[in-house]
Structure 1
Amino acid sequence: MSFSEAELEKKLAELIELHQVPGAQLAVLDGDTLTEVAAGVVSLRTGAPATTDALFLPGSIGKLYTATLVLMLADEDLVDLDRPVRTYLPDFEVRDPHARDTVTVRDLLRHTSGFDGDVFIDTGRGDDALPRYMDEIRDLPQICEPGKIWSYSNSGFAILGRLVEVVGDTVFETALRERLLDPLGLQHSVVFPEEALLHPMAVGHVPDPEDPESLVVTPQWGLYRSCGPMGASLVASAGDVLRFVQLHLDGGVAADGTRLLSAETVAAAQVPQISLVDDTVLGEAWGLGWILDHFGDVGVIGHDGNSLGQNAFMRVAPDQRFGFCLQTNVESAMTMYRELAAWLFEDRLGVAPRQDPEPLATQAVADPARYVGTYQREGVAIEVTGAPDGSLLASLVISREGADTQDLPPMDDLPLVAVARDDSFLLKLPIADSELLAVFFNPDDASAAPSYLHFGGRAHQRVSA
C-alpha cells in the first residue's frame, strides 16, 4: 500500500525537527505513483516555506545525468566506453603519462581512473569553463594505476563533461537541457543560477563559525561552472530527480514514449563494475554512474549529493519500482537519510539499508603499527596515531583551498572506533552528523600492511609509517 501524502509530510516534519534541518523536500515513487512533500523553510534568513516545486542543489546526483549523456553518445556509436579518453580528448593531460594514455571512458564512469579528483576551480562563467578546467588539471597526480581501485573522482566527471562537449559539438549545459531535461519534461530542473531565480529556491546552511551550534546561510550558493558535470549544473526538485530516474526504470524510454537510451545500455549501467571497500553507507559496488547496493535481498540503485550547505540522497529498487529522493539544506544529513530510508523500505518492502559494523567491546588494537602513519591524497592528509590506551586516533589536515573548505573546525585526535570487521573503524568528523567507515587495505595483498586508507569514498595513499 502506497504512503499517503499526509504520512510523508508528518514523517518529514518530524525528521527535520529531530535533526535540526531548516528545510527538506521528499519525493517517493511507488509503482507509477509519485508523491512529493516538503517541510520547513528554504532559508533561515527569509523564512520562506519549503515547497514541492522549490529547487535544491542535488549535488553529485547530477553525475548520473552526466553519465547518461555519455551513455547516449555510446548508444549512437560516437563513444566507445573502453577506448582511452585521449581518443576523444587529444589534449587530455594528467601528471602520469601512462595514466594519460590508458584511462578509459569506463574508468571515469566507475571512478577507477586512479588519479586524485577533488579539484574545484573557478575558471569563469563562459562557455570555455571546461576547456580551461582541463588545462588546470594537467598536473593531477595518481594515487594508483588506472583500473586498480575505486576512489571517487569529481575531476573525472568534469572530464566526461568535456567529452560530451567535444563529441557532441555543444556546451555541457546545452547538452544537459536539450538531451535530457527538455525531452523528459522536467519543469522544475534548470542549469544556471539565473534560471533558478525564477523558481522558489533553497539556500544552503552551515554552522556559524562564531557559534557552531547555530546555522547560517552559506556565503556562496553553488559551485563553479567548471564543476557542472560533477553535479553543480543541476538545480532541481526532488520530484524531478525521480522523474529522471524513471527513464532508467523504464528501459530508456521517456514518459512521452520517446526512446532516449537503449534498454541494453540501461541494463549495462546497473551491472557492478567494481566492488567498494567502505561499503556500508554508499553501497556495495559501482556501476556506470550508479551506486549499486542491496537492502536485504532487494537490489537498490542510487546516488548521493553534497553542495555548499546542501545534502541530497536518492535510492530506488528498480525491480519493485519503489524509492525516494530526499533533499535538505544542511551540509550533512546522513543520519536523517538513514532513518528515512529504513522507515520507507521496512514499511513497504520489509528490508532496511545495511548498517555499520558494531563497535568492539575493547578499543585496544592488537598491532597499532599496522595502521599508524600518514595517508594522503591531493590537499588532504590523515595522520593515524596510537593513543595511550592502545586505541587509534586520526587527525585530518585539509590544505586545498576552495568554497567547500572555508571555516573548517580543527580535526585533531579524532577516535578511530574499532568495529567487528577486519581493518575497519568508524570515524566521525566534526563537520558531519554521522560516523563513516574507514577501511585500511592493501589491493595487492590483503594480509600485508595496508597501503591505503579508504574514507569518505576516497582512497588515501600511505606515505609514511
Structure 2
Amino acid sequence: MSLTQTELEKKLAELIDRHHVPGAQLAVLDGDTITEVTAGVLSIRTGCPVSTDALFLPGSIGKLYTATLVLMLADEGLVDLDQPVKTYLPDFEVRDAHARDSVTVRDLLRHTSGFDGDVFIDTGRGDDALPRYLQEIRDLPQIADPGTIWSYSNSGYSILGRLVEVVADTVFETALRERLLEPLGLEHSVVFPEEVIGHPHAMGHVPNPEDPGSLMVSPQWGLFRSCGPMGASLVASAGDVIRFALLHLDGGVAADGTRLLSAEIVAAAQQPQIDLVDDTVLGESWGLGWILDHFGDVAVIGHDGNSLGQNAFMRVAPAQRFGFCLQTNVESALAMYRELADWLFEERLGVTTRQDPAALDSPVVADPSRYVGTYQREGLVFEIAEAEDGSLVASVRASHAAAEMQNLPPMDDLPLVPVVRDGSFLLELPIADSALLAVFFNPADASAAPTYLHFGGRAHRRVS
C-alpha cells in the first residue's frame, strides 16, 4: 500500500523535531508517482517555511550528474572508460608518474584512483576554474596504487568535470544544463548561485561556536566553482533529484521519451565495480557513480551529499521502482536519514537499511599496539592511541579548506568502540549525529598489521 501525503508530512515533521533539524524536503517515488512534502523552515534567521519548489544543496549527489555526463560521452564513442585519463587530458598531472599515466576514467568514476581526494581550492569564478584546478593539484599525493582500494575522491570528480569540458567542447555547467537539466525538464534545478536568487532556497545551519548546543546560519553558502563537478554546481529540489534518478530507472529514457543514455550503459553503471571496506553507512559496493547496496534482499542504488550546513540522501530500489530523496539544512542528518529510510522501506517493502555491527561488551582491545599510530591523507590526520584502560582513542586534525570553512571544534581522545567485526570500531565525531564505522585493514595481507584506516569513506595511510 502506498504511503499517503498526510502520512509522509506527519512523519517528516516528527523527524525534524526529534533530530533538531530546522527544515527538510522529502520526495518519495512509488511506481510512477512522486509525492513531495516538507517540514520546518528554510532558515532560522528568516523563519520562511520550506516549500516543495525550494532549492537545497544536494552536495555530492551531484556527482551522479557528472558521472551521467561522462557515460553520455562514452555512449557517443567519445570516451573509453578504460583508457587513461591522460588520453583526454594531456596536461593531467599528479605526484606519482605511474598513477598519472595509468589512472583510467573508470577509476575516477568508481573512486579507485588511489590519490588523495579532498582538495578544495578556490580557482575563481571564471570559465577557466577547472583548468586552473588541474594545475593546482599537480602535486596530489598517492595513498595507494590505482585500482587497488576504494577511497572516496572529490578531486577525481573535478577531473572528470574537466574531461567533460574538453571532450564536449564546452564548460561544465553548460554541459550539465544542456545535456541533463533541460532535457529532463528539471525546472527546480540550477547551476550558479545567482540563479538561486529567484527561487526559495535553504540556508545551511551549523553548530554555533559560542553555544555548541544551538544552531546558526552557516557563514558561507556553497563551495567554489572548481568544486562544481564534485556536486557543488547543482542546486535543486528533492523532487527534481528523484526525477533525475528516473532517467537511470527508465533505462536512459527521459520522461518525454527522449533517449539520453543507452540501456546497456545504464545497466553497467549499476553493476558492482569494487566492494567497500566500511560498508554500513554508504553501502556494500560502488558502481559507475552509484552507491550500490541491499536493504534485506532488495537491491538499492543512491548517493549522499554534504555541503556546508546541508545534508542530503537519495536511495531508490530500481526493481520495485520505489525510493526517496531527503534534503535537510543541517550539517549532519545521518540519524534522521536512517530512521526515515527504515520507516519508508519497511512500510512499503518490508525491509530496513544495513545496520552497524553490534558493539562488544568491553572497550578493551586485545592488542592495542596493532592499531596505535598515525594515519593520514591530504588535510586530515588520525592519531590513534591507547587509553589507560586498554581501549583505543582517536584524535583528529583537519586542515583542508572545507574544514576551515566549517570552523570545526576540537576532536581529541574520542573513544573507538570495538564491534563484533575484526579490526572495526564505531567512532563518533563531535560534528556528527551518529557514529561511523572505522576499519583498520591491510589490503596486501589481512592477517598483518593494518596499513590503512578507513573512515568516512576515505582511506588514511599509516605513516607511523
TM-score interval for Structure 1 and Structure 2 normalised by the shorter chain: over 0.9
Task: Kindly report which structure 2 residues correspond to 1:302-381, keeping only aligned pairs within 5 A, or say none.
Answer: 302-381=302-381
Match of 2:263 in 1: 263
1:195 aligned counterpart, secondary structure = helix
Match of 2:31 in 1: 31
8 Å contact kept, 1:308–1:404: no
The one-letter amino acid of 2:450's match is P
Cα deviation code 1:424-459 (max 9, x no counterpart)? 000000000000000000000101100000000000
The one-letter amino acid of 2:108's match is L
8 Å contact kept, 1:158–1:228: yes
Work out the CA distance in 2 between the residues paired with 1:44 and 1:423.
Answer: 42
Match of 2:78 in 1: 78
CA RMSD of aligned residues (A): 0.7
Cα deviation code 1:63-115 (max 9, x no counterpart)? 00000000000000000000000000000000000000000000000000000
Match of 2:149 in 1: 149
1:425 aligned counterpart, secondary structure = strand
1:430 aligned counterpart, secondary structure = coil
Work out the CA distance in 1 between the residues paired with 2:459 and 2:146.
Answer: 13
Match of 1:423 in 2: 423
Work out the CA distance in 2 between the residues paired with 1:402 and 1:284.
Answer: 27
Match of 1:209 in 2: 209
Match of 1:114 in 2: 114
8 Å contact kept, 1:241–1:325: yes
Cα deviation code 1:46-72 (max 9, x no counterpart)? 000001000000000000000000000
Q: How far apart are 1:2 and its partner, in Å?
A: 1.1
The one-letter amino acid of 1:99's match is A
1:214 aligned counterpart, secondary structure = strand
What residue ranges of structure 2 are gaps of 5+ in the alignment?
A: none
- Confirm whether residue 456 of structure 1 aligns to residue 462 of structure 2: no
8 Å contact kept, 2:427–2:436: yes
Work out the CA distance in 2 between the residues paired with 1:456 and 1:220.
Answer: 23
Cα deviation code 1:357-388 (max 9, x no counterpart)? 11101111111111011100011110001111
Q: How far apart are 1:401 and its partner, in Å?
A: 3.3
Match of 2:414 in 1: 414
8 Å contact kept, 1:218–1:309: yes
Q: How far apart are 1:405 and its partner, in Å?
A: 4.5
Cα deviation code 1:343-368 (max 9, x no counterpart)? 00001000000110111011111111
8 Å contact kept, 2:120–2:400: no
Q: How far apart are 1:389 and its partner, in Å?
A: 1.1
Work out the CA distance in 1 between the residues paired with 2:407 and 2:239.
Answer: 33
Task: Kindly report which structure 2 residues correspond to 1:428-443, keeping only aligned pairs within 5 A, or say none.
Answer: 428-443=428-443
What residue ranges of structure 1 are gaps of 5+ in the alignment?
A: none
Task: Kindly report which structure 2 residues correspond to 1:278-317, keeping only aligned pairs within 5 A, or say none.
Answer: 278-317=278-317
The one-letter amino acid of 1:108's match is L
Match of 2:53 in 1: 53
The one-letter amino acid of 2:43's match is S
Q: How far apart are 1:264 and its partner, in Å?
A: 0.1
The one-letter amino acid of 1:431's match is I
Cα deviation code 1:215-253 (max 9, x no counterpart)? 111111100100000000000000000000000000000
8 Å contact kept, 2:118–2:400: no
Count of matched residue pairs:
464
Match of 1:180 in 2: 180
**Percent of matched pairs sharing the same residue:** 81
Work out the CA distance in 2 between the residues paired with 1:341 and 1:404.
Answer: 32
Work out the CA distance in 1 between the residues paired with 2:343 and 2:137.
Answer: 43
Match of 1:194 in 2: 194
2:463 aligned counterpart, secondary structure = strand
TM-score, normalised by the number of residues in structure 2: 0.99
8 Å contact kept, 1:251–1:266: yes
1:61 aligned counterpart, secondary structure = helix
Q: How far apart are 1:403 and its partner, in Å?
A: 6.0
Q: How far apart are 1:406 and its partner, in Å?
A: 3.6
Match of 2:392 in 1: 392
Match of 1:140 in 2: 140
Match of 1:237 in 2: 237
Cα deviation code 1:313-343 (max 9, x no counterpart)? 0000000000000000001000000000000
8 Å contact kept, 2:121–2:401: no
Work out the CA distance in 2 between the residues paired with 1:412 and 1:207.
Answer: 18
Work out the CA distance in 1 between the residues paired with 2:122 and 2:198.
Answer: 24
Cα deviation code 1:267-290 (max 9, x no counterpart)? 000000000000001000000000
1:272 aligned counterpart, secondary structure = coil
Work out the CA distance in 1 between the residues paired with 2:404 and 2:69.
Answer: 27
8 Å contact kept, 1:220–1:403: no
